[in-house]
């Protein structure tokens, strides 16, 4: 089993370069299958979620090369066969193959996707969209057999602005006949990245990034190129690290607009930083003020940053409240922060109260999921003594070279394999 060990208390200075966004890349790679030609995706992050997607691409018979972050995918000779549950259950994003294969072949057989255990995470909105576009969905235990004689564009209203359902609907609708309109679409930057890529291949999508997306179906998608946008959650995580332990820590390759809500919150609690068009330099601040945070879909405060931010809220004077509105089980980090000496009350499964300031002391903690793992890394950086984090595969799924990036700026952190 792999463990991350951190000796806390060291200042962070120097530069951290942000990688391509996990949640974009994991959709762009399956989207590539829709092309009848060769496509190229630049700035692919080196994370294990991408390895799992590659395994699926190769299993289907695609030719894939990945050098210097550039992935070239040739899916001219793929076979539309059932993806084994052992691979698809490794990550949430495997269901983007479900929609890409449905769009391309009008038939797909696949198992329920995996992903972090942070809530029930149903896929009813995706299935609703498939059905609205003309598909029949047969659910057999955890397996779905989805077939459409014709995919016909239509109006789809999503009950909630789901990132997955919005992308899945786009991936099918690009190959449907006529126009599809997605109402109450998610507005995350990752959706714009996927739509731009599809348009580059010849799709006709407008409105991505707003709550209404219009797609006019085309019969064929061709050669395409795109670049993965910088990971706003990875950026946010290292910005928080800078606010905790930074001495002019520079985070480079960011899109400030994508992290605006985090920056507003940093202003509110009293953090100081210097922002440019593509970087931020931040140092540790004292005398921070408490605040209230509520997670929401983009452009609201991202759920994926609430667990990392909790460590900074522990530094604030007074009681901060954090309300999680997207997932019903995303406070598993609290038990371990309290074990390290924090004073956090779980009010209910959607709200916690953080009583600050408190000092953390290193101990053994668990990365229960990806962002809880990032929270534990941040906690380890500020804690006195040694923090040992177990179950770190969750962290390596989504943070490229996290050990190296932090070591390079002065952290005492290493990976231990037993
Ligand atoms: N939901 C439904 N039915 C659906 C779809 C969603 O009830 O059919 C609910 C979910 O249960 C959840 C909410 O709607 O309560 C939002 O879910 P969404 O579909 O937006 O999330 P997702 O597509 O499964 C992606 C990211 C998550 C990120 C969320 C929200 C990927 C692979 N995952 O998940 O990333 O938290 O959007 O921004 O893109 C992470 O990176 O740590 C992570 C969990």
Comparing C-alpha atoms, which of 69, 76, 110, 103 is closest to residue 401?
69
Q: Three-class SS of residue 186?
A: coil
pLDDT of residue 105: 96
pLDDT of residue 167: 98
- Nearest residue (CA) to ligand 1, atom 14: 162
Q: What is the 370 CA–ligand 1 centroid distance (Å)?
A: 14
In the block, which residue shows the tokens 């999503």?
Answer: 158
Question: Where are any strands of DSSP class E within 179-329?
Answer: 179-183, 204-206, 212-216, 224-227, 246-252, 273-275, 279-282, 292-294, 318-323
Q: What is the 162 CA–ligand 1 centroid distance (Å)?
A: 6
Distances (CA, A) of 148 to 75, 103, 152: 21, 9, 9
Question: Under CATH, what is the fold of the domain 2-19+230-417?
Answer: UDP-n-acetylglucosamine1-carboxyvinyl-transferase; Chain (3.65.10)
pTM: 0.97
116 is catalytic: yes
* Nearest-atom index, ligand 1, CA of 161: 20
Is-same-fold flag (2-19+230-417; 22-227)?
A: yes
pLDDT of residue 87: 87
* Nearest-atom index, ligand 1, CA of 167: 23
DSSP assignment of 347-374: EETTEEEEEE----B--EEE--SHHHHH
Distance of alpha carbon 68 from alpha carbon 342, whole angstroms: 42
Q: Could you tell which of 30, 48, 88, 121 is best to mutate to test the pocket of ligand 1, judged by most ligand atoms within 8 Å of the CB?
A: 121
Exactly one of 116, 271, 316, 375 is catalytic; name it: 116
CA atoms within 13 A of residue 25's CA, in its CB half-sphere? 32
Q: What is the 40 CA–ligand 1 centroid distance (Å)?
A: 26
pLDDT of residue 141: 80
pLDDT of residue 305: 98
> Sign of torsion, CA 297 134 96 230?
negative
Preceding amide of 28 cis, omega within 30? no
Preceding amide of 357 cis, omega within 30? yes
Going residue by residue through the chain (418 aa), what tens digit of pLDDT does each one get? 899 999 999 999 999 999 999 999 999 999 999 999 999 999 999 999 999 999 999 999 999 999 999 999 999 999 999 998 888 888 888 889 999 999 999 999 998 887 777 777 889 999 999 999 999 999 888 889 999 999 999 999 999 999 999 999 999 999 999 999 999 999 999 999 999 999 999 999 999 999 999 999 999 999 999 999 999 999 999 999 999 999 999 999 999 999 999 999 999 999 999 999 999 999 998 899 999 999 999 999 999 999 999 999 999 999 999 999 999 989 999 999 999 999 999 999 899 999 999 999 999 999 999 999 999 999 999 999 999 999 999 999 899 999 999 999 999 999 998 7
Q: What is the 113 CA–ligand 1 centroid distance (Å)?
A: 12
Cα angle 316, 324, 347; round to 5: 70
Does the domain at residues 22-227 carry the CATH identifier 3.40.30.10? no
Question: Where do the structural domains in the chain lie, given as residue ranges?
Answer: 2-19+230-417, 22-227
């Amino acid at each position: 089993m792999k463990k991350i060990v951190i000796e806390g208390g060291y200042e962070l200075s120097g530069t951290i370069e942000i990688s391509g966004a996990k949640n974009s890349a994991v959709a762009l790679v399956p989207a590539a299958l829709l092309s009848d030609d060769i496509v190229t995706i630049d700035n692919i992050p080196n994370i294990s979620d991408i390895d799992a997607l590659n395994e699926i691409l190769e299993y289907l018979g695609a030719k894939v090369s990945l050098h210097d972050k550039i992935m070239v995918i040739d899916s001219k000779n793929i076979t539309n066969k059932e993806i084994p549950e052992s691979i698809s259950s490794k990550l949430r994003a495997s269901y983007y193959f479900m929609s890409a294969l449905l769009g391309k072949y009008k038939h797909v057989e696949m198992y329920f996707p995996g992903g972090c255990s942070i809530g029930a995470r149903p896929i009813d909105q995706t299935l609703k969209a498939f059905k609205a576009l003309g598909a029949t969905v047969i659910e057999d235990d955890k397996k779905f057999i989805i077939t459409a004689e014709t995919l016909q564009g239509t109006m789809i209203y999503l009950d909630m602005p789901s990132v997955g359902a919005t992308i899945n609907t786009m991936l099918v609708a690009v190959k449907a006949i006529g126009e599809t309109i997605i109402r109450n679409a998610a507005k995350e930057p990752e959706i714009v990245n996927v739509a731009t890529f599809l348009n580059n291949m010849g799709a006709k999508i407008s409105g991505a990034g707003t709550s209404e997306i219009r797609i006019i179906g085309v019969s064929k998608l061709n050669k395409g190129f795109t670049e993965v946008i910088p990971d706003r959650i990875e950026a946010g995580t290292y910005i928080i690290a800078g606010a905790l332990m930074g001495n002019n820590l520079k985070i480079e390759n960011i899109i400030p607009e994508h992290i605006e809500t985090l920056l507003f919150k940093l202003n509110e609690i009293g953090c100081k930083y210097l922002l440019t068009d593509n970087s931020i330099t931040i140092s540790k601040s004292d005398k921070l003020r408490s605040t209230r945070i509520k997670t929401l879909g983009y452009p609201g405060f991202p759920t994926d940053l609430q667990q990392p931010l909790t460590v900074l809220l522990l530094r604030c004077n007074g009681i901060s409240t954090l309300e999680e509105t997207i997932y019903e089980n995303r406070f598993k980090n609290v038990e371990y922060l309290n074990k390290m000496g924090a004073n956090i009350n779980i009010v209910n499964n959607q709200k916690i109260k953080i009583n600050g300031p408190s000092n953390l002391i290193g101990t053994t903690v668990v990365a229960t999921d990806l962002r809880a793992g990032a929270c534990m890394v941040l906690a380890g950086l500020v804690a006195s003594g040694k923090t040992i984090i177990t179950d770190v595969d969750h962290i390596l799924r989504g943070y490229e070279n996290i050990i190296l990036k932090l070591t390079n700026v002065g952290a005492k952190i290493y990976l231990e394999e037993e």
